Amino acid sequence: MSKETFFITTPIYYPSDKLHIGHTYCTVATDAIARYKRLRGYDVMFLTGTDEHGQKIEEKAKEAGVTPQAFVDKIVEGPGGILDLWKLMNISNDRFIRTTYDYHVAAIQRIFRKMYDNGDIYKGAYKGKYCTPCESFWTESQLVNGCCPDCGRPVHDAEEEAYFFRLSKYAKPVQDLLESGTFLEPASRVNEMINNFIKPGLEDLCVSRTSFKWGVPVDFDPGHVVYVWVDALFNYATALGYMNDRYKDFEKYWPPVNIVGKEIVRFHSIIWPAMLMSVGEPVPKKVYGHGWLVIDGGKMSKSKGNVVDPYLLADKFGVDALRFFLLRTFPFGSDGNFSNELLISTINTDLANDLGNLVSRTTAMIEKYFGGILPAARAADALDDELKTMIGELPEKYAAQMDVFQPHLALEEVFRVIQRANKYIDETAPWILAKDEANKPRLAEVMFNLVEALRISLICLTPFMPESCDKALAQIGAQSCRGWDDAVYGARSGEIRVRKGETLFPRLDMEKTLAELEAISLPAKAPTVKPVLPDVTIDEFAKCDMRVCKVLSCEAVKKSEKLLKFQLDDGSGTPRQILSGIHKFYEPEQLVGKTVVAILNLPPRKMMGQDSNGMLLSAVKEVDGKEELHLMILDDSVPVGSQLC
Ligand code: MSP
């Protein structure tokens, strides 16, 4: 009998820059689901790829002085590129599509013509607001504060002769589909789509461009290229051979489960099914819109200098620990706040303490008490019942969560068993049982239960940490008893051979590791802007007496490399002496006569034996790892003695 098929996809990523931890999160999650389905016996097709056309890529290639094709080739296939990243992360995709592949380009032309021939694409004129980075036209009413509702950047007026897709015609069937309850998940995203896009009225969609060249040409109207989202969305079909001869898998695997980030749910749950309805093909089984990884609550971005590099983390912590962390920590449907501290503490708690300890304690005890061979003669006790029940129930509970795309909850179930097993060691105290030869069968039972807790947990963990689970299963001698059907308590009979191996997940020193990460990530960082400090009240702020002062004199302090001594006119009539450590940035003569700002009501301090009554205000920032300082120098028209408020 042929196996049931399962087709799962990631979004195809823009090769406009290196991919970061957010993209890795999506691909790793999809990989874990694909591996889980294979474990369950499905014939899986797992597709990922790259979305290579569009104005943004054209512009970036121009900036780099290369052709768009050369530009994307390097990011996709070059060293340290996208293909290398997925190899490193142990991604088990069965196919990889690039939208610049000939077979895809030809198929998109046929698909476009098919929709034109059936009357769903027509020629018109487009006037609207265009967001270049998002490649999206918007209507005035969709803008947020006059900017792109997706990325918040400015839009510009654009008008061009263009082809339109009759999206409005599909408003009702798409709404019905969304309301069916299973097509789009999590459910919260359904209301968002209906209220924000369907209810205000679905307008026809502009599906061609004439303002740039880097795209799939409309073969019957030269000068027009196909809108990048039409080109991109159909990748899921062309990669199986839809409208092309490169592959022949469309009948076998269609329809897909599309895993996508929340920001592209609109394209996948409205435009995508409407276009499939137009060409007469079944809509996806499901679109799952996962949340985002954010940093300090905000978006990762190059300009903020907080883009997290998966290569660096995988190198430092190991691929499996990184994969595990991403899926254990963040609920898949919601946003998650990424931090290095969280990564390190997850590795320490779950992997080093709970799982790692269980593996090493169990294997060490079996070696010590039984020379590594666990005998078949065992004596059970009521004390074992709770753990045995939990082991027995684990596969079903785990599967129930995996089947609804909740990997973090599936892992929660596994770790409940692992934690219970660690507690069971303390309850049964094997080291006491081992003192009396007569207890051997009882001791063997305790060890057996630990091995079974591990074996079944490891089977469930394999989709998340394939390599580490292979190693751990080998340590407990379970290489040939690790299929889904083997995930049953007691599936092994006879003697069990165990061999303690390397420590799978070493414990990390939090402070030291954070410092090491900081050091290696420095070169990749843009200028760092310090986060805003905790709130102060207006009354607290008003307590700072900051005044405009004139520099009467300034000289270097003897024997100090840093200090300058200022006499200032603060408007009181009595000169005020302030010392400031800014000699590295200014020579005294540059500052005489300047209008500056000082805070006056700080407690007086002695510096190099001299009094300092206040502090000069400067603007300070770290640039390329070096501190840059600019004294606050005001326009001379600001009266001396003015208070800052
Ligand atoms: N090319 C389009 C998708 C076309 S699919 C037919 C695109 N590409 S993208 O490279 O910008 O982003 C693709 C996906 O990367 C997002 O949908 C999301 O799954 C993932 N992520 C990008 N940044 C992310 C985070 N910060 N966090 C989690 N996932 C993120 O959109």
Could you read off the pLDDT of 571-612 as tens digits, one per residue? 999 999 999 999 989 999 999 999 999 999 998 888 888 999
pLDDT for the residue 645:
85
Q: What sign does the dihedral 227-233-238-242 (CA atoms) show?
A: negative
Neighbours of 296 (CB within 10 A): 12
pLDDT for the residue 527:
38
- Which residues neighbour 56 within 8 Å (Cβ) at sequence distance 6 or greater? 14, 16, 132, 133, 135
pLDDT averaged over every residue in the chain: 94
Beta strand residue intervals within 149-269, DSSP E: 156-165, 184-185, 205-206, 208-209, 225-226, 257-261
Integer Cα distance of 440 and 622 in angstroms: 65
Residue 570's Cβ-count burial label (10 Å; 0-12, 13-18, 19+) is: buried
CB of 233 shorter than 6 A to ligand 1: yes
The DSSP bridge partners found for residue 539 are none
Closest residue by Cα to atom 20, ligand 1, is 23
pLDDT for the residue 296:
86
How many angstroms does the Cα of residue 69 sit away from the middle of ligand 1?
Answer: 21
Q: Between these two residues, 343 and 140, which has the higher pLDDT value?
A: 343
Closest residue by Cα to atom 13, ligand 1, is 13
**Stretch among 34-48, 121-135, 283-297, 438-452 having the lowest mean pLDDT:** 121-135
Closest ligand 1 atom to 300 CA: 26
Closest residue by Cα to atom 25, ligand 1, is 22
222-245 pLDDT, tens digit each: 899 999 999 999 999 999 999 999
CB of 163 shorter than 6 A to ligand 1: no
Integer Cα distance of 103 and 243 in angstroms: 9
pLDDT for the residue 493:
80
Whether residue 214 contacts residue 225, with contact meaning beta carbons closer than 8 Å, is answered with yes
pLDDT band at residue 159, thresholds of 50, 70 and 90?
confident
| Preceding omega of 68 cis (within 30 degrees of 0) | no
Altogether, the residues listed in the chain come to a count of 645
pLDDT for the residue 311:
96
The DSSP bridge partners found for residue 290 are 261
430-474 pLDDT, tens digit each: 999 999 999 999 999 999 999 999 999 999 999 999 999 999 999
**Stretch among 62-66, 205-209, 519-523, 587-591 having the lowest mean pLDDT:** 519-523
Residue 118 has pLDDT above 80, yes or no: yes
How many angstroms does the Cα of residue 87 sit away from the middle of ligand 1?
Answer: 19
Residue 189 has pLDDT above 50, yes or no: yes
Q: Please give the DSSP secondary-structure letter assigned to residue 643.
A: B
pLDDT for the residue 523:
40
CB of 11 shorter than 6 A to ligand 1: yes
Amino acid at the residue 409: L
Q: What integer is the mean pLDDT of 307-312?
A: 94
Which pair of tokens denotes residue 43?
A: 């014939």
Maximum Cα interatomic distance, the chain, rounded to a whole number of Å: 99
Residue with tokens 């207890």: 439
Q: What integer is the mean pLDDT of 201-224?
A: 94
Whether residue 600 contacts residue 547, with contact meaning beta carbons closer than 8 Å, is answered with yes
- By most ligand atoms within 8 Å of CB, the mutation choice from 14, 100, 264, 332 for ligand 1 is 264
Q: Between these two residues, 304 and 462, which has the higher pLDDT value?
A: 462
Residue 531 has pLDDT above 70, yes or no: no
Whether residue 320 contacts residue 385, with contact meaning beta carbons closer than 8 Å, is answered with no
Whether residue 395 contacts residue 469, with contact meaning beta carbons closer than 8 Å, is answered with no
Q: Which helix (H) or strand (E) holds 430?
A: helix 430-433
* N-terminal to C-terminal alpha carbon distance within the chain: 80
Q: What sign does the dihedral 399-402-406-407 (CA atoms) show?
A: positive
pLDDT band at residue 626, thresholds of 50, 70 and 90?
confident
Amino acid at the residue 388: K
Neighbours of 69 (CB within 10 A): 13
How many angstroms does the Cα of residue 524 sit away from the middle of ligand 1?
Answer: 21
Q: Which helix (H) or strand (E) holds 605?
A: strand 605-607
Closest ligand 1 atom to 293 CA: 27
From residue 584, give the alpha-carbon distance in Å to each of 556, 564, 581.
11, 10, 8
pLDDT band at residue 530, thresholds of 50, 70 and 90?
low
Among residues 307, 273, 389, the alpha carbon closest in space to that of 17 is found at: 307
pLDDT for the residue 2:
85
* Collapsed DSSP state (helix, strand, coil) of residue 568: strand
pLDDT for the residue 320:
98
pLDDT for the residue 524:
35
CB of 234 shorter than 6 A to ligand 1: no
CB of 45 shorter than 6 A to ligand 1: no
> Given the DSSP bridges, would you call strands 225-226 and 208-209 parallel, antiparallel or unpaired?
antiparallel
Residue 522 has pLDDT above 80, yes or no: no
CB of 19 shorter than 6 A to ligand 1: no
pLDDT band at residue 139, thresholds of 50, 70 and 90?
confident
536-572 pLDDT, tens digit each: 878 888 899 999 999 999 999 988 889 999 999 999 9
CB of 272 shorter than 6 A to ligand 1: no
CB of 230 shorter than 6 A to ligand 1: no
Q: What integer is the mean pLDDT of 148-155?
A: 87
| Preceding omega of 441 cis (within 30 degrees of 0) | no
> Given the DSSP bridges, would you call strands 546-556 and 610-612 parallel, antiparallel or unpaired?
unpaired
CB of 259 shorter than 6 A to ligand 1: no
How many angstroms does the Cα of residue 264 sit away from the middle of ligand 1?
Answer: 8
Phi, then psi, of 564 in degrees rounded to 5: -115, 140
CB of 22 shorter than 6 A to ligand 1: yes
Q: What integer is the mean pLDDT of 148-168?
A: 90
Q: What integer is the mean pLDDT of 307-313?
A: 94
pLDDT for the residue 526:
37
The secondary structure of 106-170 as a DSSP string is HHHHHHHHHHHHTTSEEEEEEEEEEETTTTEEE-GGG-BTTB-TTT--B-EEEEEEEEEE-GGGG
Integer Cα distance of 422 and 362 in angstroms: 9
pLDDT band at residue 529, thresholds of 50, 70 and 90?
low
Closest residue by Cα to atom 26, ligand 1, is 22
Residue 204 has pLDDT above 80, yes or no: yes
- By most ligand atoms within 8 Å of CB, the mutation choice from 9, 10, 13 for ligand 1 is 13
Long-range contacts (CB closer than 8 Å, 24 or more residues apart) made by 171-180: 171/198, 171/201, 171/202, 173/273, 173/274, 173/277, 174/198, 174/202, 174/269, 174/270, 174/273, 174/274, 174/277, 177/273, 177/283, 178/269, 178/270
- Percent of the chain at pLDDT > 90 equals 83
Amino acid at the residue 498: V
CB of 23 shorter than 6 A to ligand 1: yes
CB of 25 shorter than 6 A to ligand 1: yes
The DSSP bridge partners found for residue 129 are 138, 157
Whether residue 562 contacts residue 545, with contact meaning beta carbons closer than 8 Å, is answered with no
- Which residues neighbour 49 within 8 Å (Cβ) at sequence distance 6 or greater? 12, 13, 95, 96, 97, 98, 99, 235, 239
CB of 293 shorter than 6 A to ligand 1: yes
